[in-house]
Structure 1
Amino acid sequence: MIWLTWRQFRTQAAVMFAAVAALAATLAVTGPQLADLYRAAGSSLVDRLSNSDQSVYYAGLVVVLAVPAVIGMFWGAPLVSRELETGTHYLAWNQGVTRTRWLATKLGLGAAAAMTAAGLAALAVSWWSSPIDRAVNGGGATDTYFPRLDPVAFAARGVVPMAHAAFAFVLGVALGLVIRRTLPAMATTLVVYAAVQITVPMWIRPHLAATDRTTVPIEPGGAPISIQEGAKEIVTHPEVPGAWVTSQQTLNAAGQPAPVPSSFADCLHTESGPPTLQQFDRCLADLGALGYQQQVTYQPAGNFWTLQWAETGLYLGLALALTGFCTWWIRRLT
């Protein structure tokens, strides 16, 4: 059964592992030079990277983020739906192999290959990007490069991509079992996986490890401040290198959450257009004089591996739950 499953699966696996090998080879060529540059430049490395380095950096992110989605669509969704759609499941389940064992073999081999492909891609990208990650965590400019805890970079580092791949694969299998048609199952897998990838960083990941808080004074020359929602919301950018800011709120003089007073918007209003830098600083000084401060909640850089292992456990748990669902569902199919 294992040999038959591998023969049916080897083409998809060969394509994926060839793409991962090509990525690893590309990174291996430029990786040592990047490490040497970091040893010489330290946290200023991000200011000395070339456009080609930046392109490779973003390409690595895209590839690792895409691998689980591709696996779910092209490995998971057709695995059973193709059999059900063409009717070949009747033959497969009447060859002396129970449908439960048939499914378990396919799920086990597919999940192992999915985690291996995603793990190798993540390992290569994490190795190549490690000098940039260390530079950013050390206080290097972050306008172009993401801290490791940033939601975009986090999903392309460490062990989390392996869990994402396992979940995406089993998700595709489950949706294929329910929908029973290959193309709709592939499309639904992509939509559901994308929805989960948006939901987890926004509402779940921030609570998987203890956060830190800091209170930033609102004053000219302090932490960079930007204004949003027509001067109704203040956003500060405190000096917490490598951290992931999960939320922030404005506090009044009593230390209680409060909206920005309307007087601040009136102060910034000019008939000639946007306020000048001098006017902006004066309005900030007036707001600070009223006792307003900004409270920032963030995940510190040191929580990277805590969050990695916690999210890995979360996605593997979801994959196991979907595996149980698949086992139950396939037994009731007629």
Structure 2
Amino acid sequence: MIWLTWRQFRGSAAMMAAVLGVLAVALAVTGPGLASAYSAGIADCTTDDTCAGFYNRFFGEYDLPFLALTLVVLILPALIGLFWGAPLITRELEAGTHLLVWNQSITRGRWLAVKLGLTGLTAMAAAGLCGLMVTWWSDPLDKSAAEGMALMAPLVFSARGIAPMGYAAFAFVLGVTVGMVVRRTLPAMALTLAVFAAIQLNLPTMVRPHLVAPVTATFELGMENMESLSIPREGGESPRLFLREAVPGHPGSWVLANELLAPSGQVISGGDGGAGAVINVSSTSGPCAPGSAAAGAGDGCLGEVNRLGYRQQVTYQPLERFWLFQWIETGIYALLTVGLTWLSFWWIRRRLS
């Protein structure tokens, strides 16, 4: 039974091995150079405190391969569900070859177990290896990425660590189960893609932020968490402040909420984008007046804003929780995979003929 399953599957396995082999060679050749360039840049920028500019230049130079590899890891589990999971049983049902096996003293449970075990473990190994290779290669870029592409950001998180292995296992068993219920290959592939995509799109925004209680803290305004402070050229208009989605002292964090607080503690709208938050500070005299040297530099006006009590309030998941979240989310997908596996065994014994 194992040999028969392997003969049916070896073409797909060989193609996957070839693709991963090419990817491994490409990453192994370019990875050390990428890490060396990052280390050299960090060594240079720390002497004159220009690392912020280096991060932007370094990430901008490699952003296309960074995004391409991230998308490869994200798409791979879906492809496994579509082309390995959904057709695994449906092609047997459509051709009637399953009856030949079932009539030769091989139980339905054993038949399904061999197919799930051999193909499913290969799928997990392929996705896990791909994810870990890309995680290793992307490490310098993950350290220098902008806030929206940081390691804890939803898009990047799903393409790093061990999580892709859990996604692949779930997508594969989902495809098998849907195929057994639908009994037709193309409808099973379409339904598998729809269900898997819906879960992958909603879990990062609806479930992942609450796996562990997020941290909420307030910070003074500065270069780390402020995009800009717009001072009007003519007096009479109030300055406007724009926040960055960043947490001072905690780079790489996943920002869930980013608000500007007035001295009274009330939230000021517009601080996280749009037209900016209006700051109630004098623009006719003092540090924020258009004609003052402090206003031209921006530092004196920012100091006045901090003195008045304006603060950033941010809710976030710190980068230190990356591996904790990876294990929790992989565990969730493992439970879903076990549940679907049980359903597939129940279905083949009770409902499939």
Residues 217 and 314 in structure 2, CA contact (< 8 A), matched pair in contact too: yes
Q: Which amino acid aligns with 1:223?
A: N
The match for 2:171 among 168, 174, 177 is 168
Q: Which residue of 1 aligns with 2:285?
A: none
Q: Which amino acid aligns with 2:252?
A: G
Counterpart Cα distance in 2 of 1:215 and 1:267: 19
Q: Which residue of 1 aligns with 2:245?
A: 237
Superposed counterparts of 1:82-93, under 5 Å: 82-93=91-102
How much has 1:66 moved relative to structure 2? 1.1
Counterpart Cα distance in 1 of 2:82 and 2:123: 12
Q: Which residue of 2 aligns with 1:231?
A: none
Residues 182 and 188 in structure 2, CA contact (< 8 A), matched pair in contact too: yes
Q: Which residue of 2 aligns with 1:223?
A: 225
Residues 66 and 141 in structure 2, CA contact (< 8 A), matched pair in contact too: no
Q: Which residue of 2 aligns with 1:180?
A: 183
Counterpart Cα distance in 2 of 1:3 and 1:41: 53
| 2:26 is the alignment partner of 1:26 | yes
> What percentage of residue pairs aligned between the two structures are identical?
50
Residues 72 and 172 in structure 1, CA contact (< 8 A), matched pair in contact too: yes
Residues 209 and 306 in structure 1, CA contact (< 8 A), matched pair in contact too: no
Gaps of 5+ in 2: 43-50, 229-241, 280-289, 291-297
How much has 1:172 moved relative to structure 2? 0.5
Q: Which residue of 1 aligns with 2:7?
A: 7
Residues 37 and 45 in structure 1, CA contact (< 8 A), matched pair in contact too: no
Q: Which residue of 2 aligns with 1:81?
A: 90
Counterpart Cα distance in 2 of 1:265 and 1:116: 48
Q: Which residue of 2 aligns with 1:325?
A: 343
Counterpart Cα distance in 1 of 2:90 and 2:198: 22
Structure showing greater Rg:
2
Superposed counterparts of 1:277-288, under 5 Å: none
Q: Which has the higher contact order (CA 8 A, sep 6+)?
A: 1
Counterpart Cα distance in 2 of 1:128 and 1:13: 24
How much has 1:150 moved relative to structure 2? 0.9
Q: Deviations over 1:150-183 (max 9, x none)?
A: 1111111111111111011001111111111101
How much has 1:292 moved relative to structure 2? 6.7
Supply the RMSD in Å over aligned alpha carbons. 3.3
TM (norm. structure 1) is 0.81
Q: Which residue of 1 aligns with 2:65?
A: 56
- Counterpart of 1:237 in 2: which secondary structure? coil
- Counterpart of 1:242 in 2: which secondary structure? coil
Stretch deviating more after TM superposition (1-10 or 67-76): 1-10
Counterpart Cα distance in 1 of 2:260 and 2:352: 56
How much has 1:95 moved relative to structure 2? 1.8
Rate the CA distance shift 1:265–1:310 in 2: closer, same or farther, 3 A.
Answer: closer
Q: What is the number of equivalent residue pairs in this alignment? A: 308
Q: Deviations over 1:288-318 (max 9, x none)?
A: 9997755311110101100011111011111
How much has 1:32 moved relative to structure 2? 0.9
How much has 1:62 moved relative to structure 2? 1.3
Gaps of 5+ in 1: 227-233, 269-277
| 2:319 is the alignment partner of 1:301 | yes
How much has 1:90 moved relative to structure 2? 1.9
Residues 261 and 312 in structure 2, CA contact (< 8 A), matched pair in contact too: yes
How much has 1:199 moved relative to structure 2? 1.2
Superposed counterparts of 1:137-286, under 5 Å: 142=146, 146-216=149-219, 223-224=225-226, 236-238=244-246, 239=248, 240-248=250-258, 255=265
Rate the CA distance shift 1:222–1:113 in 2: closer, same or farther, 3 A.
Answer: closer
Q: Which residue of 2 aligns with 1:40?
A: 40
Q: Which amino acid aligns with 1:38?
A: Y
